[in-house]
């Protein structure tokens, strides 16, 4: 089926009574099943929010979005290769260091992270295991009139890859709506795409938790004298609104894997954790505030914070990150693994005009080609480069997006706006930017979204598919665990992707494969 | 263990860090697991509430409450006998009618319900099956200094017996807190009562849903021509804040029993349901607003509304009730079964100075005695009666509570206040009241409650244990299904039970048996 024809009749029109039924069913289902977020202060008063008890539905689409089956399967098939690619980049400190050092004077955040690595290196790393919980994000590149789409990677996430927990629940919500009431399927109006179809199984929670459990297991016995009980530590942001996504993993770890999990906000790391003095193995000790005399030894630090510059409010936060990195706990991720997720790395790998690097990390030509097919061309802007040529030519620029390397450093610049934007800054700053060929998702895709404040918005959308994967490796190159499983469909109002006013919406979705 | 000594050291004291941990864990757990209610307008603005998306935790105790094991088992053991008692009272229209007719001129609500019965009787009942989802509520009567408690019934509910859904989740919450982190149990401070104990299994959702499913099954094939698909209809109040309790049952019915369930608010019954004309079997047809051309035939009407006078806002609501009652749908409950739950019926059964009625309904002396042991003495206030004597004597009145028969008609009058209260009204109104010996729960019981607005309140409490049961019977006396299963512990701040200012709290709880 051509993407255009799929989207032109989708989603089916809703009568007011049908919309009312769907919206109220979803409002109730989300709360019943924990498909929730804490409400923003824009919706509920600061006073009510401060009580910490209110919740509302995560923003979700009323309908699952059609997605090409071949692209979905291609993305899944590539995940374990991607896992290994990023593990091997992380192990290759020399290669990684050369790319990162180029960024140090244009990206303070990268520079600070690199300093943490150097400080740990000085004392010596005591943990040779690393854990990655990754998510590779894609769009189906769909040229107008074409019968098929090709899968293109938008970005690869090596830290705090989120929405595994909630995404599984959205798939369950849409599956239930597609098949209810039992035997009759009347919740949605009839549509050919719905005939017998439900979203594919989504094992994100099981997969991500199993990755953390594998690290916990691989850590081995306590390194403390006397030995301490072991735990996994989730390092989180204060006032996290997306907490229920994270709890899906910790609940699975404690109920299924029988592993102790604690949550710790970044500002309390130095108060609550310590590295045992005089123990060259440097076990990381966690003291729960509610059980002062029951210290635990941390096998695995799972970061759901520390991924953005804003997570480091002072030097104390950098000291906290350093303490974690120095310790014997397995980090998910290490500083080096976090750095491997820089946009610059993705550009270096995907630059069609630069020497090939993929063969350094990916074993066979076949698997290299498997990844290369998912790359959208990306360029740096160095003098006389192809990237600079494309970016300054208005006609060619129109097919591209300019992305800042600097984390949290601002928004993307789109199409015609690129040449003037570049000319407004000194050329010496250009190396802080990456030029990427625009991926063209289906133009007619649309959906209806229930926002967290109860408003219902419909319109043209762009969907991004994320595939989750986990990998546990030793610095000597040995890979102990490499799994793929679970996915995320995130759907955004089209305006917000065009560099226009951010009047759009971003919501959790699922897929119907066609 | 004597009740006094159990309660004197319970619950264990919490340090501020321990309380903070427990409270924040419960705030998150409740939302993650749907142990939730819609927030009241006293906490969140009307505007935010009107969006229908916000939720907050149901009010819950931080700790499970100690409850005598023997009393818990006695209550469970009596449930199937109670189920049958109330089924047989409902079948005995003559006996029931005699008691109800005494109330007609003091209780408008009872009078209106009786009129519905008479109207249906005139046309003839077409459905000889009735379903009861009951809850029998108890307190452990605990005399000071006594080593044991005896189980006493507070009331028996024959309509809209609620909190089965949420109660199961509270038991799960407390069980998880008692055993977390896995293998260490550090969420609570240590206490002898916790050693290896968790709340007993709570199968309320499974039991109540299985009762509804049994009725659906027993209804048989469609009575319509041509036959229609079958469904269960939940009749509910508009703006129900306790909706997640109800959804636990409908979710189980659709996901496990594969039965179609629809929710319908009382004001829409006449718009959305009809009795097929010219069909003497009177099947009840439901037209879903979101699927206009897909009518369903209702096998079972489950009332979570229509239990209080305030649920009938106009004659139209009474017509709606009549339509349901006239139809071939199995009612849970029928008007007669609802009336069997009057306080007056309980008084007649439990009056030690009146002729015995129990033997009329309960087969053996042994089972009669089993029930009688759970009765607190109850009296009417007719002239020269024992009840009147006790109520007017200040010293004896101090051991009693005066309960209005009239549903929704005001509060209970306690102890010394009874004689003066009675003297302030004409004697002709006294038959609207029932005098009941006060049940004396353990005086030192205390607990800590997390309210729905996030406030934490602690103090002396009174707990009420409810046992759920379901029964499906034929008007000819045949009993098709009689089950017991699941329980509710509801814990109230003591002030609210003493006739004082209602500054207390009422919350969902679970039990630790001792």
Tell me, what's the pLDDT at B501? 35
Of B52, B182, B259, the CB nearest to A260: B182
Range A97-124 average pLDDT: 95
pLDDT, tens digit, 9 for 90 and up, residues A347-373: 999 998 888 999 999 989 999 999 999
Q: What residues of A are annotated to the active site? A: 135, 155, 157, 162, 343, 403, 407-408, 490
Tell me, what's the pLDDT at B9? 93
The helix/strand/coil state of B456 is strand
Residue A279: burial class (beta carbons within 10 Å; 0-12, 13-18, 19+): middle
Confidence label for A408 from pLDDT (cuts 50, 70 and 90) = low
**Which long-range contacts link B345-350 to residues 24+ away (Cβ below 8 Å)?**
B345/B89, B345/B96, B345/B99, B346/B153, B346/B155, B346/B156, B346/B378, B346/B434, B347/B378, B347/B379, B347/B380, B347/B434, B347/B436, B348/B99, B349/B375, B350/B153, B350/B375, B350/B376, B350/B377, B350/B378, B350/B436
A458 touches chain B (CB under 8 A): no
Closest B-chain CA to A261:
B181
Tell me, what's the pLDDT at A319? 98
* C-alpha to C-alpha distances, A411 to A60, A406, A437, nearest whole angstrom: 24, 10, 16
For residue B304, the Cα-to-chain-centroid distance in whole angstroms is: 11
* A477 has binding-site annotation: no
Angstrom distance (rounded) from CA A16 to CA B261:
21
B444 flagged as catalytic: no
Q: What is the pLDDT along chain B (514 residues), one digit of tens a residue?
A: 566 688 999 999 999 999 999 999 999 999 999 999 999 988 899 999 999 999 999 999 999 999 999 999 999 999 999 999 999 999 999 999 999 999 998 899 999 999 999 999 999 999 999 999 999 999 999 887 777 899 999 999 999 999 999 999 999 999 999 999 999 999 999 999 999 999 999 999 999 999 999 999 999 999 999 999 999 999 999 999 999 999 999 999 999 999 999 999 999 999 999 998 899 999 999 999 999 899 999 999 999 999 999 999 999 999 999 999 999 999 999 999 999 999 999 999 999 888 899 999 998 999 999 999 999 999 999 999 999 999 999 999 999 999 998 766 567 999 999 999 999 999 988 988 999 999 999 989 999 999 999 999 999 999 999 999 999 999 999 999 999 999 999 999 986 444 333 345 799 999 999 9
pLDDT, tens digit, 9 for 90 and up, residues B124-169: 999 999 999 999 999 999 887 777 899 999 999 999 999 999 999 9
Q: Which residue has the tokens 């005001």?
A: B410
| Chain A with chain B: Cβ pairs closer than 8 A | 144
Using a CB-CB distance cutoff of 8 angstroms, which residues of chain B are in contact with residue A22?
Answer: 290
Tell me, what's the pLDDT at A328? 98
Confidence label for A269 from pLDDT (cuts 50, 70 and 90) = very high
Go through A198-226 and write b for each residue having 16 or more CB atoms within 10 A of its CB, e for each that does not: bbbebbbbbbbbbbbbbbbbbbeebbbee
pLDDT, tens digit, 9 for 90 and up, residues A283-310: 999 999 999 899 999 999 999 999 999 9
Window from A40-54, A405-419, B232-246, B352-366 with minimum mean pLDDT: A405-419
| Cα angle A205, A210, A213; round to 5 | 125
B271 touches chain A (CB under 8 A): no
Tell me, what's the pLDDT at B236? 98
Of A32, A44, A243, the CB nearest to B34: A32
Binding residues of B for ATP: 155, 343, 403-412, 414, 436-439, 464, 492, 498
Closest A-chain CA to B257:
A182
Window from A47-61, A220-234, B300-314, B482-496 with minimum mean pLDDT: B482-496
pLDDT, tens digit, 9 for 90 and up, residues A148-180: 899 999 999 999 999 999 999 999 999 999 999
Contact between chains at B229 and A57 (C-beta distance less than 8 A): no
Closest B-chain CA to A228:
B184
Contact between chains at A56 and B53 (C-beta distance less than 8 A): yes
Using a CB-CB distance cutoff of 8 angstroms, which residues of chain B are in contact with residue A56?
Answer: 53-55
* A155 has binding-site annotation: yes
Catalytic site residue from B76, B88, B135, B388: B135
Q: Is the pLDDT of residue A122 over 60?
A: yes
B254 touches chain A (CB under 8 A): yes
* Higher pLDDT, residue A109 or B494: A109
Using a CB-CB distance cutoff of 8 angstroms, which residues of chain B are in contact with residue A45?
Answer: 45
Instruction: Answer whether B336's CB lies under 8 Å from B268's CB.
Output: no
Angstrom distance (rounded) from CA B349 to CA B371:
10
B24 touches chain A (CB under 8 A): yes
* A161 has binding-site annotation: yes
Using a CB-CB distance cutoff of 8 angstroms, which residues of chain A are in contact with residue B254?
Answer: 180-182
B162 flagged as catalytic: yes
Confidence label for A502 from pLDDT (cuts 50, 70 and 90) = very low
Tell me, what's the pLDDT at B143? 80
B499 flagged as catalytic: no
Instruction: Answer whether B149's CB lies under 8 Å from B514's CB.
Output: no
Element (H, E) at A468: strand A456-474
Q: Given CA atoms A296, A298, A299, A305 in this order, what sign does their dihedral have?
A: positive
Q: Is the pLDDT of residue A464 over 60?
A: yes
Q: Is the pLDDT of residue A497 over 80?
A: no
B36 touches chain A (CB under 8 A): yes
Does 3.30.1490.50 match the CATH number of domain A377-437?
Answer: yes
Using a CB-CB distance cutoff of 8 angstroms, which residues of chain B are in contact with residue A21?
Answer: 288-290
- Best to test chain B binding among A31, A209, A250 (most B CBs inside 10 Å): A31
Q: Is the pLDDT of residue A236 over 50?
A: yes
Tell me, what's the pLDDT at A353? 87
Tell me, what's the pLDDT at B5? 80
pLDDT, tens digit, 9 for 90 and up, residues A314-335: 999 999 999 999 999 999 999 9
Closest A-chain CA to B454:
A51
Using a CB-CB distance cutoff of 8 angstroms, which residues of chain A are in contact with residue B55?
Answer: 31, 36, 54-56
B69 flagged as catalytic: no
Domain ranges of chain A: 3-371+439-513, 377-437
A421 touches chain B (CB under 8 A): no
Contact between chains at A27 and B57 (C-beta distance less than 8 A): no
Contact between chains at A229 and B183 (C-beta distance less than 8 A): yes
With a cut of 0.90, is the ipTM above it?
A: yes
Binding residues of B: 135, 155, 157, 159-162, 240-242, 246, 304-307, 343, 403-412, 414, 436-439, 464, 490, 492, 498, 501-502
Using a CB-CB distance cutoff of 8 angstroms, which residues of chain A are in contact with residue B250?
Answer: none
The helix/strand/coil state of B232 is strand
* A308 has binding-site annotation: no
Tell me, what's the pLDDT at A276? 86
Range A374-382 average pLDDT: 95
User: Max Cα separation, chain B?
Assistant: 71
Tell me, what's the pLDDT at B60? 98
CA distance B425 to chain A (A): 46
* A307 has binding-site annotation: yes
Tell me, what's the pLDDT at B148? 85
B238 touches chain A (CB under 8 A): no
A21 touches chain B (CB under 8 A): yes
Q: Given CA atoms B181, B170, B38, A252 in this order, what sign does their dihedral have?
A: positive
Contact between chains at A51 and B454 (C-beta distance less than 8 A): yes
Q: Is the pLDDT of residue A405 over 90?
A: no
């Amino acid at each position: 089926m051509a993407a255009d024809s799929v989207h032109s009749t989708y989603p089916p029109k809703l009568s007011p009574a049908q919309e009312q039924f769907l919206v109220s069913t979803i409002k109730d289902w989300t709360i019943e099943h924990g498909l929730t977020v804490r409400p923003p202060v824009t919706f509920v008063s600061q006073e009510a929010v401060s009580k910490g008890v209110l919740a509302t539905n995560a923003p979700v689409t009323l309908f699952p979005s059609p997605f090409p089956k071949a692209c979905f399967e291609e993305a899944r098939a590539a995940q374990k290769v991607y896992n290994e690619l990023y593990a091997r980049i992380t192990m290759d400190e020399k290669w990684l260091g050369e790319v990162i050092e180029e960024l140090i004077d244009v990206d303070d955040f990268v520079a600070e992270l690199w300093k943490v690595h150097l400080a740990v290196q000085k004392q010596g790393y005591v943990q040779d295991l690393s854990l990655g919980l990754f998510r590779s994000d894609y769009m189906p590149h769909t040229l107008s009139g074409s019968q098929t789409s090709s899968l293109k990677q938008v970005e690869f996430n090596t830290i705090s890859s989120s929405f595994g927990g909630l995404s599984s629940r959205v798939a369950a919500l849409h599956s239930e709506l597609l098949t209810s009431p039992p035997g009759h399927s009347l919740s949605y109006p009839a549509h050919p795409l719905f005939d017998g179809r439900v979203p594919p199984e989504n094992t994100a929670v099981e997969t991500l938790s199993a990755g953390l459990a594998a690290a916990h297991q691989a850590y081995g016995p306590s390194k403390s004298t006397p030995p301490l009980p072991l735990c996994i530590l989730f390092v989180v942001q204060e006032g996290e609104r997306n907490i229920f996504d994270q709890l899906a993993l910790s609940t699975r770890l404690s109920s299924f894997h029988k592993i102790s999990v604690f949550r710790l906000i970044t500002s309390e790391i130095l108060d609550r954790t310590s590295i045992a003095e005089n123990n060259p193995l440097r076990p990381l000790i966690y003291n729960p505030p509610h059980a002062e005399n029951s210290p635990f030894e941390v096998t695995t630090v799972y970061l759901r914070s520390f991924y953005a510059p804003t997570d480091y409010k002072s030097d104390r936060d950098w000291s906290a990150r350093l303490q974690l990195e120095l310790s014997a706990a397995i980090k998910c991720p290490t500083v080096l693994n976090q750095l491997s997720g820089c946009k610059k790395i993705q550009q270096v790998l995907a630059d069609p005009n630069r020497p090939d690097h993929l063969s350094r990390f990916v074993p066979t030509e076949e698997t290299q080609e498997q990844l290369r097919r998912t790359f959208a061309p990306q360029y740096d802007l160095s003098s006389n480069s192809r990237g600079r040529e494309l970016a300054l030519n208005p006609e060619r620029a129109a097919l591209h997006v300019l992305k800042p390397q600097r984390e949290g450093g601002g928004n993307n610049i789109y199409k015609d706006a690129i040449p003037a934007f570049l000319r407004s800054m000194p050329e010496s700053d250009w190396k802080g930017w990456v030029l990427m060929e625009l991926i063209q998702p289906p133009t007619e895709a649309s959906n209806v979204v229930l926002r967290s404040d109860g408003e219902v918005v419909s319109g043209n959308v762009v969907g991004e598919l994320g595939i989750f994967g986990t990998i546990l490796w030793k610095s000597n190159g040995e890979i102990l665990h490499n799994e793929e499983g679970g996915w995320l469909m995130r759907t955004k109002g089209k305006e917000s992707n065009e560099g226009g006013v951010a009047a759009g919406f971003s919501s959790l979705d699922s897929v119907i494969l066609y």
